[in-house]
Amino acid sequence: MKKRALVSVSDKRGIVSFVQKLEEMDVEVISTGGTKRELEKAGVNVIGIEEVTGFPEMMDGRVKTLHPNIHGGLLGVRKNTEHMEALKDQGIGLIDFVIVNLYPFQSTIENPASTFDDAIENIDIGGPSMIRSAAKNHNDVAIIVDAEDYDVVLQELKDSNGELSVERKRKLAAKAFRHTAAYDALIGEYLTKQVGEEAPEKLTITYNRKQMLRYGENPHQQAAFYERPLGNPTSIARSTQLHGKELSYNNINDADAALAVIRDFEGPTVAAIKHMNPCGVGIGATIFDAFTKAYEADTTSIFGGVIACNQEVDKETALKMKEIFLEIVIAPSFSEEALAVLTEKKNIRLLTVDLESNQPVEQRITTVSGGALVQETDTLSYEDVEVTIPTTRKPSDSELEQIKMAWKVVKHVKSNAIVLAKADQTIGVGAGQMNRVGAAKIAIEQAGDRAKDAVMASDAFFPMSDTVEAAAKAGIKAIIQPGGSKRDQESIDMANEYGITMVFTGVRHFKH
């Protein structure tokens, strides 16, 4: 008995050549719609789906493959005598190969012009049903949902006298269920957003593998990089690599942290990142000025760092970057001259990323053992909060500008976090400390003499006045912090004693 293949694909890459080779192996081809027309145009002898079902397509093609003559042929277990007798009694033929992928739901909802009705119309029903039937019965039926598998399937059929091993069919079935699960997850995510559910009882999201990584945080850990199908267009996952070695796990984390910093600034800004913490941030009249400030903020820690720029990298900036060892430079673009300079360094990774598109408020998902924590990204800005100034002295205009800068940066530093800034440049960063005054001491020590007349930002309130006292002794003149401690008055009194102005935001910026 001839084997039969059912073919219905939206992604038609390589389908004609694949089916032609199946036909050469004496496999009969059943197809429908646009796939049938494409195959017939190429000279393939095709049996129409209605010839198998004895029933015409209905309701604009919504009902065409949902029929016992299709699913009986897919679900019949060859070794089960009762199944085979039932199929024979009903005149249902077996189907041995299913080559199906699904309506383009993702591309439909990505189109700004598409409507809700367009999205609903592009929810595939028959395709997932056939995929699931074939995958369930994968001992007898080969289900192929990915054009990347065409060659390996053909080679095994050629090498094994027209048969696929159970192991191969099981791998194909596993991929098929991943395919339909991802498809359903995307539909579920879209409809959940449409109805405004913020914390649904089931978290069904999907990611596509972007690349395999050499290893994870450490060489003994396996790792891969996945991206959201409808993710942030301004993200590292959507970046383009122009030059250099393949990105590593740690590179990707640091690059993500660097992009998060520069998205909060409008003028020419450069952020230098080490281990997901900013070690230097600079604002300038030009991107060269900004990079110079970011570099001089901490000339030691920037070595081997990740750099993000929010404007094009020009030749002058590239020449200065070339002087030091950098892992990555990310920017919206590089001038031709800048690329010529930087690509002389074989291993430096150069990435471009779209910083013009609107940044959606994304969910941040953190895995814990046995579960996950989900929250919105912290996008709160200085302009979003109602600040108060409880101290006697109020900040000058220039102090206020530096306060705003430091507060933007401290949001991106691991808690407990303190940032010192002066003249559009961070000069000290205390990150990830178990107590706040400890973080302050680290930032003050790093700043040294530059701390005089600088500003301090804290990601959370001061539980006591010791941090204000440490700031005063270093010559710091302005502080921004959330406030809200039971002992705020002690900090206010200490600030007044030393003539420090202090701004309360009422908002915490913890980052763990």
What are the C-alpha distances in Å from 137 to residues 53, 66, 78, 169?
20, 17, 10, 10
10-residue mean pLDDT series, the chain (512 residues): 91 94 93 90 90 73 77 92 91 94 88 91 89 95 96 94 94 96 93 90 91 95 93 90 95 96 95 96 98 97 96 97 96 97 96 86 88 90 92 96 96 95 97 93 96 96 94 96 95 96 95 90
> Per the structure block, which two tokens stand in for 133?
């039937």
Evaluate the omega torsion of the peptide bond into residue 69 and state whether it is cis, within 30 degrees of 0. Answer: no
Task: Give the model's pLDDT for residue 61.
Answer: 65
Contacts of 275 (CB under 8 A, 6+ apart): 250, 254
Task: Give the model's pLDDT for residue 445.
Answer: 96
Task: Give the model's pLDDT for residue 58.
Answer: 65
Q: CA angle at residue 388 from 387 to 390, to 5 degrees?
A: 155
Mutual angle of helices 166-194 and 150-159, in 10-degree steps: 160
Q: Work out whether strand 501-504 and strand 240-243 pair parallel, antiparallel, or are unpaired.
A: unpaired
* Residue 32 · residue 168 · CB < 8 Å: no
For 26-78, give the DSSP string.
Answer: T-EEEE-HHHHHHHHHTT--EEEHHHHHSS--BTTTTBSS-SHHHHHHHH--T
Contacts of 280 (CB under 8 A, 6+ apart): 271, 272, 293, 294, 295, 296, 297, 298, 301, 302, 425, 426
With 0-12 / 13-18 / 19 or more C-beta atoms within 10 angstroms meaning exposed / middle / buried, residue 278 is buried
Residue 430's CB: how many other CB atoms inside 10 A?
A: 28
What are the C-alpha distances in Å from 443 to residues 108, 300, 409, 410, 477?
50, 14, 13, 12, 15
Task: Give the model's pLDDT for residue 55.
Answer: 73
Report, as residue numbers or ranges, the catalytic residues.
136, 275
Q: CA angle at residue 79 from 145 to 178, to 5 degrees?
A: 20
- φ and ψ at residue 100, rounded to 5 degrees: -140, 135
What are the C-alpha distances in Å from 493 to residues 14, 53, 471, 473?
75, 85, 14, 15
- φ and ψ at residue 436, rounded to 5 degrees: -70, -40
Q: Looking at this protein, which amino acid is placed at residue 269?
A: T
The DSSP code for 355 is: -
User: In angstroms, rounded to a whole number, what is the distance separating the alpha carbons of residues 345 and 306?
Assistant: 15
> Per the structure block, which two tokens stand in for 30?
């059943």
H-helix or E-strand spanning residue 84 = helix 81-90
Task: Give the model's pLDDT for residue 380.
Answer: 87
Task: Give the model's pLDDT for residue 65.
Answer: 75
C-alpha count within 13 angstroms, C-beta hemisphere, residue 51: 9
Task: Give the model's pLDDT for residue 165.
Answer: 94
